[in-house]
Amino acid sequence: MLESIEKDGIVRWEDVQGCPGCPTKPRADRPVAVVECLQEIPCNPCETSCPFGAIKVGDPITNLPVLNEDLCTGCGTCVAACPGLAIFLEDDSHGPDVAQVTFPYEYLPLPEKGERVQATNRAGEVICEATVVRVRKPTKATNKTAVITISVPRDYLHEARGIALKR
């Protein structure tokens, strides 16, 4: 287990970069999944949900998920499928100053498209202002998990992982 998780339960970007679910190269043309699953637990919904075979767990089922970023289309099916809420989409195709982050969201009320919100990091701390770009409402197909996409300053692409509503 990673020292940061044992110490305070918070995953760091430095930890994610070394895991097999993290893309190894920047992608400027479309979103890509970032699988922040760092513990060997028996779980594989990410693998079974991906229609493109971009995520593999294999045998044993406790293997860390491996992302084949060349097969990943950024469709986001895996985001809602992960019971650990550990998969995000990063999209760096919106110019030099802005990026989009997609994440699972299991709170009510849901934000609205166009709403200004506060982006939070993995520790739940507010890190920047963001705009809601897309809200996929929870359905049976998404395990009743909403999937939210926000636009953030590009410097926060690897840190923004949730939101705090200003209501």
What was the pLDDT predicted at 130?
98
**Amino acid at position 18, single letter:** G
pTM over 0.85: yes
* Pairwise pLDDT comparison (87 vs 2), residue with the higher score: 87
Nearest Cα residue to 73 out of 56, 53, 57: 53
pLDDT in tens, 22-74: 888 777 789 999 999 988 999 999 999 999 999 999 999 999 999 999 999 99
Average pLDDT over residues 87-96: 94
pLDDT in tens, 120-144: 999 999 999 999 999 999 988 888 9
Coil vs helix vs strand at 19: coil
Q: Looking at residue 66, what DSSP letter applies?
A: E
> Number of folded domains in the chain?
1
Burial class (CB in 10 A: 0-12, 13-18, 19+), 133: middle
* Pairwise pLDDT comparison (167 vs 110), residue with the higher score: 110
pLDDT band at 119 (very low <50, low <70, confident <90, very high): very high
* pLDDT at 154 > cutoff 80: yes
Residue 53 domain boundaries: 3-164
Q: What is the DSSP string of 115-157?
A: -EEEEE-TTS-EEEEEEEEEEE---GGGTT-EEEEEEEEGGGT
